[in-house]
Homo-oligomer: A and B are copies of this chain.
């Protein structure tokens, strides 16, 4: 693998230094814990704190969603590894203003364990913490076992909604309810066309034979539902759209938000080609797109592939999506 790095063991450390320098107007590193990134807007007004965390290598996720009106503090893990309980706890402390903290994160064993321990520490410190655990990846377990599903790019909608709600002055319970609704209304699915390699490793974690694709791949290369022949954008879009639409399920006339993300090495051009097909399929089914996002929103190092995320909207969720936001991963002026 051809990379622009220094020591492979220090990629997260070096990246964080660069990130903090580049976005110093927006975020800073916690002076007490170099693996916690905190929004500079965090304490501009009294509000519920919004926290997340996860392994590195998914940029913009997770630190790229820290900033104005989205996530207040992020616990940072090593590449594809959970942050420590201490980092989750320090992120909670950084975001707390006495109104409680919403910890909105993805369903992975390490994160679950470390958030649980962090919550015990927070309880001892008298900080009220409630959680929403994202499980939007339809490929990772059947619907009847949706509590086993992983969180993937749908987390971005969960953070957007939770962050907007907190900024509007909602209580902890209201923030949690809205963020839970966001993820309950959200489904994602990914396909992998090429693997990625953790910088400290010599070889990719997994392999994808040229001419094939892994349908339903996870954000760390977790096996998908099936390996099949690489198809056209139209056919891939059809299979992916069907899966997420039927799982919600959507009914004719529904409004939705769509997020298409490249996994790292997929040109943005291809993402728009794919989105064009998705939009057509949704329109044919009488569904309308209220908001669309296409780009590298949640990646897996240099994995080649794409994810599709859809969220069913209501007035509250639309209001939250429209909120002004300023982060590295998503900046948007208030939509009128």
Contacts and interface: CB of A to CB of B under 8 A. Distances in A.
A4 B97 CA distance: 46
Interface string A233-245: 1101000000000
A146 to B, nearest CB: 27
Interface stretch (A12-20, A161-169, A246-254): A12-20
Protomer copies: 2
Interface residues of A, number: 65
B273 A18 contact: yes
Interface string A292-331: 1111100101101010000000000000000010101001
A2 B193 contact: yes
Interface string A86-101: 0000000000000000
Contacts of A213: 2
Contact of A267 (B191, B208, B264): B264
A274 interface: yes
Contact of A264 (B56, B193, B265, B274): B265
A109 interface: no
A58 to B, nearest CB: 9
Contacts of A293: 22
Given A324-B333, A331-B331, A279 B5 contact: no
A232 interface: yes
A269 B15 contact: yes
Contacts of A208: 2
Contact of A4 (B21, B266, B296): B266
A11 interface: yes
Interface string A244-283: 0000000000000000000011111111111111010000
Interface centre among A273, A299, A335 (most CB of B within 10 A): A273
A96 to B, nearest CB: 26
B292 A268 contact: no
A331 B172 CA distance: 30
B299 A59 contact: no
Nearest to A58: B269
Given A18-B275, A21-B292, A269 B2 contact: no
Nearest to A79: B269
A199 B283 CA distance: 28
Contacts of A276: 14-15, 17-18, 21
A136 to B, nearest CB: 20
A132 B59 CA distance: 35
A138 B335 CA distance: 41
Closest 6 CB pairs of A and B: A18-B276, A18-B272, A2-B193, A265-B265, A59-B268, A18-B275
24 contacts: A2-B193, A4-B236, A4-B266, A4-B270, A5-B273, A6-B232, A6-B233, A6-B273, A11-B269, A11-B273, A14-B233, A14-B276, A17-B276, A18-B279, A19-B272, A19-B294, A21-B275, A21-B279, A22-B292, A23-B292, A59-B267, A267-B299, A296-B296, A331-B331
